[in-house]
Structure 1
Amino acid sequence: MWYHIDPASGTPIYRQLVEQVRQAVASGVLRAGDRLPSVRDLAVELAVNPNTVAKAYQELEREGVIETPRGRGTFVADRDPAVPEAERLRQFAEAADRLAADAYRLRIDSEQALAIFRERLAAAERRRSGE
């Protein structure tokens, strides 16, 4: 499973879903053409309101990450989303802020955090290249 919702998080559930789909696509866990669960199925599985999942899917569709051909389901888009560089950097900076806060809370020093990040980034690059 590529998603995990933390109801105790300060981040809204729909935002958690959006970020997790983006991350799964970026890391190659989800690939172009992969089918996502229906709004109803995912809402039942996560025990959340279907409107929450629908809101996340709508945002991802606006960004070009997913596509929803009428009556066929929801799929990872076949094309790379045309997200402007400034927006990509903003999204990455937000994710970095959350990771930095987690590192501080868990008492992980910057050298350890950077080593873990480099390791994870290399693994994601290997997955994307199909190794």
Structure 2
Amino acid sequence: MKLCLVVDDSKVIRKVARRILEELNFDIEEAVDGQDALDACDRNMPDVVLLDWNMPVMDGLEFLKAIRSREGVEQPIVVFCTTENDMAHIRTAIEAGANEYIMKPFDREIIEAKFTQVGLM
């Protein structure tokens, strides 16, 4: 089973994402911010990271840049999942190494479609 790291400071969003992703046969780990996510990656690199942008301690973009700068590790697929929906944010995320971008609110259909596009399904 593939491992998905859900990174969001909202417990509700993490819970909704967990429910959807477990139905899609993913194992789930959760992180509350980018630093927590980096620590989780050090313990067990996920196949995919579902990543919020705006979080305390370390935001999603900082996490993305940090994980993409690591050499000699298997890189996860990173899917931003955020309320930041303007083209400048999307372009910044893709240029920093995001594989895909999902707008909140999301549902199973959206996650399944995006995960299929990046080859996870």
What TM-score results when the alignment is normalised by the length of structure 1? 0.27
- TM-score w.r.t. length of structure 2: 0.29
Which of these two proteins has the greater Rg computed from alpha carbons? 1
Q: In proportion to residue count, which structure has more strand?
A: 2
